[in-house]
Structure 1
């Protein structure tokens, strides 16, 4: 009911915003839009050492979400903008990624930008490490099937969320294909602060990325430092991906090397996807994950997919998952 009520309110806000925009002078250009994605899959899912579960799951390929965003041209090249975005679990209708998740957990910020100076956003911002991870692997931001995402964010390596609350994030303009980000999340009497830096380069078939972050915010969150190098290269109908990174956990004294290799190959109206990844800890068991899938686009907004994943952790029974699903963007 909460999601339904919010959707009704968002539509009302959208309609009111449209009327407001129509009434503004021609010199003040404004925009307001509602958007999102719903991802549902059916299959069998098994983590290493656990029992297999069969059923309907939301957000395995891309976490389902909806949002509102808007901007206003303030003149002289200066633009004010905002975004508020909420995750949802479409299989049950529940809000958030899990019980207790912040409602606007995906994004919640307001900012200013200019073409020559870049953008400064204040609020809850997506981390640059998460962006770097999703850019340079064949399965993108899939928490269900991407070895890179699972190894970096859900395997006890990196701490902190994929979005930081109480944060300020600066994104530079592009300099011949090169851009930078810098962001910090204030501690606000909840442990230390978080900080991160990144650089991205896109030039023809080659793309490269580097991200670094330090997490110390949160009295119950382990302090960690992480960095990651990533790259991709387009070769005809194929695209090759590679990643390598390291995480140091100050609380446990353990460190983790995270490696990823993958490819996507255009095939018909879709793409064949393959991604391999490994976690190599200083102490403890290695984890090796391989995913193979096919993503077929019925239209620009709707795609169908089928995925098989093998997930192995030394000393435990193998995890094998497979699923078919649909994603729709609006």
Structure 2
């Protein structure tokens, strides 16, 4: 079945007539390089990595003009691994990154249904993190955006048009638990304002952890404020998140990376400060950040991460990069330094790679 679907996608990619009718665009990112990780129970791990800066992918998106300012839209995006050519997901999904269809209005906004990013994740990626949740310095290492905090299945998402700099998003993900409409339900939203060099956003997410058999698991809540300001010679970033309840801070990395079992916090704060700065002819960009995870559980398992990176644009579509990050775990914390695609194996990591977009 999977081979058949891939074959269909390839045939569609070679059919210019079909594209002319459907206004379909094929796009993607190929990102590959070398990653070296240290400090974990596995020792030094050096490997060819796919998607350290930006996850490698191939996607199909399209629009159809319905008249009256309305358009039908869709998107299908599959994660791939450049190092070995396999699908980039453990669940063996074909379109594991995004898969949705919807209606877009220039005046009323956009409504989409399917597998989509959470508003919380989008604010972290687009407003808060100078690394854009990529490279060794990704905020995903400490901010709670693993698993269901990144994307939702069965999601209905509404996004407003830009109203004098203000934008908003609402997301409702059905838990689809028989006999209990609230179990596994996820709700999120964001409000943002952009004016010249200033970008500010608020984001919220809640996940009901109840199941068909367990009705008392409770709800995990996350709220975040993020901002960046471009001074031209340097762009400053900042973010603060409060995470409360079961499942409010899912681990991005393995729970046993350091030879002991580390459990996720149920009460924590996350703070980030960072910057990007153009270098020389502006083709180069320096990135840096510091993140603190403040665990408020009894164990007080805090962690700090500092990171630095450099990206150089060889052209509009091709760039090379280098990045390094280190985490200091405290009181038995077990966070790892990963990147955009991988979760990491230790408390230090180095990336060197090349990225091409098409």
CA distance in 2, matches of 1:12, 1:255: 50
The answer to whether residue 338 in structure 2 is matched with residue 329 in structure 1 is: no
The match for 2:173 is 185
Q: CA deviation at 1:275?
A: 1.1
Structure 1 residue 101, shift from structure 2 partner: 4.8
| CA shift for structure 1 position 2 | 5.8
User: Superposition pairs for residues 1-330 of structure 1, below 5 Å?
Assistant: 8-16=7-15, 18-20=16-18, 22=20, 30-46=22-38, 51-97=43-89, 99-135=90-126, 136-142=128-134, 144-153=135-144, 160-189=148-177, 191-216=183-208, 219=211, 223-250=219-246, 254-268=266-280, 269-283=283-297, 284-315=300-331, 319-330=347-358
- Alpha-carbon distance in 1 for matches of 2:350, 2:14: 41
User: What's the C-alpha RMSD, in Å, of the aligned pairs?
Assistant: 2.5
User: Is this contact kept in 2: 1:70–1:81, CA < 8 A?
Assistant: yes
Which residue does the alignment assign to 1:27? none
**Structure 1 contact 10–34 (Cα < 8 Å) conserved:** no
Q: Secondary structure at the match of 1:139?
A: coil
TM-superposed deviation, 1:242? 0.2
Give the match's secondary structure for 1:94. coil
Equivalent residues of 1:47, 1:311 under 8 A apart: no
Any conservation in 2 of the 1:271–1:294 contact (CA below 8 Å)? yes
Q: TM-score, normalised by structure 2?
A: 0.82
Q: Residues 101, 164 of structure 1: CA spacing in aligned structure 2 closer, same or farther, 3 A cutoff? A: farther
Q: Distance in 1 between matches of 2:13 and 2:209?
A: 35
3-state secondary structure, aligned to 1:141: coil
CA pair 137-253 structure 1, distance change in 2 beyond 3 A: closer
Change (3 A) 1:88 1:218: farther
* Contact 2:190 2:201 survives alignment (8 Å): yes
Query: 1:261-285, CA deviations, whole angstroms, 9 ceiling, x for partnerless residues?
Result: 1000000321011011011011231
Q: Tell whether the 8 Å contact from 2:136 to 2:350 is kept in structure 1 after alignment.
A: no
Structure 1: gaps spanning 5 or more residues: 25-29
Relative CO higher for 1 or 2, CA cutoff 8 Å, sep ≥ 6? 2
Cα deviation for residue 77 of structure 1 reads 0.6
List runs of 5+ in structure 2 lacking aligned partners: 248-263, 335-345
Q: TM-score, with normalisation over the residues of structure 1?
A: 0.88
Aligned residues: 317
Q: Pick closer, same or farther for the CA change 1:256–1:47 going to 2, 3 Å.
A: farther
User: 1:223 Cα shift?
Assistant: 3.9
Structure 1 residue 215: Cα displacement: 1.1
Tell me the equivalent position of 2:251: none
Higher normalized strand content (fraction of residues): 1
CA 1:101–1:206 in structure 2 vs 1: closer, same or farther (change >3 Å)? farther
DSSP 3-state at the match of 2:142: helix
Say whether the 8 Å CA contact 1:270–1:294 is kept in structure 2.
yes
